[in-house]
Amino acid sequence: MSTEPFKNVILIPQTNQLLGLYTIIRDAQTKRPDFIFYSDRIIRLLVEEGLNQLPVTPKSVETATNQTFEGVSFLGKICGVSIVRAGESMEQGLRECCRSVRIGKILIQRDEETALPRLFYEKLPDDISERYVFLLDPMLATGGSAMMATDVLLKRGVKQDRIFFLNLICSKEGVDSYHEKFPDVKIVTGAVDECLDENKYLVPGLGDFGDRYYCI
């Protein structure tokens, strides 16, 4: 299978391991402790792939056997920005890879009747325009919430090509709408679902991610 179904969509390798993790979290019978545990495993893979997208510079080191190893070192500063509530579930996975990483928050809620997003609150690092930004939200359905959050980042001076949207499941139509507006943002995802239902939920999807991770 191609790992890049659309331009600027990075689909992480569709291994049997990954498929097994998605099978658990998509199963309606899966209870909250397992839902959290297996979602966290996927989140970790998404974070590692996001980090893999960042630039590096050549670096050589002396090894303990007095040999030279030609490697690389990481370039640039990063921060995470979670779209509250569900996006907060991805913060820990980022912290596990990037110690004491700065994290901003954007509170956007999708109206349950209309599925339209509403922005309530934002708190972002002052120097965010100088950083690579990992925008965190597990679900991209219509794309409305992610677009609203990206608008907030752009208004703060972040360039599109410095934003990486990390996501567990997106829809084809959500990706198309998002990239029509923000073609240079990279979406790092583990699954692209076929369509949305009459309530604008992903199909096959997994239901309400925030409820399953935090409440049910």
Residues in touch with ligand PRP (CB under 6 A) = 83, 85-86, 109-110, 115, 117, 137-146, 174, 200, 208-210
Strand 186-189 versus strand 9-11 pairing type:
parallel
Do residues 179 and 7 lie in contact, with contact meaning Cβ atoms separated by under 8 Å?
yes
Give the one entry of Mg ion, ligand URA, ligand PRP, none that residue 205 binds, where binding means its C-beta sits below a cut-off of 5 to 8 angstroms depending on kind.
ligand URA
- Contacts of 203-210 spanning 24+ positions with Cβ under 8 A: 204/26, 205/26, 205/169, 206/25, 206/26, 206/169, 207/28, 209/39, 209/86, 209/89, 209/138, 209/139, 209/168, 210/85, 210/86, 210/89
**209 contacts ligand URA (rule: CB under 6 A):** yes
Nearer to ligand URA, 61 or 216 (CB): 216
Give the one entry of ligand URA, Mg ion, ligand PRP, none that residue 129 binds, where binding means its C-beta sits below a cut-off of 5 to 8 angstroms depending on kind.
none
Give the one entry of Mg ion, ligand URA, ligand PRP, none that residue 144 binds, where binding means its C-beta sits below a cut-off of 5 to 8 angstroms depending on kind.
ligand PRP
Catalytic residue list: 110, 114, 208, 211
Using CA atoms, how far apart are residues 37 and 102, in angstroms rounded to an integer? 24
Q: How many residues bind Mg ion (CB under 5 A)?
A: 1
**86 contacts Mg ion (rule: CB under 5 A):** yes
DSSP 185: S
Binding string to ligand URA for residues 111 to 140, with x set by CB under 6 A, is what? ----------------------------x-
Q: Which of 201, 204, 213, 216 binds ligand URA (CB under 6 A)?
A: 201
Q: Which residues are at the interface with Mg ion (CB under 5 A)? A: 86
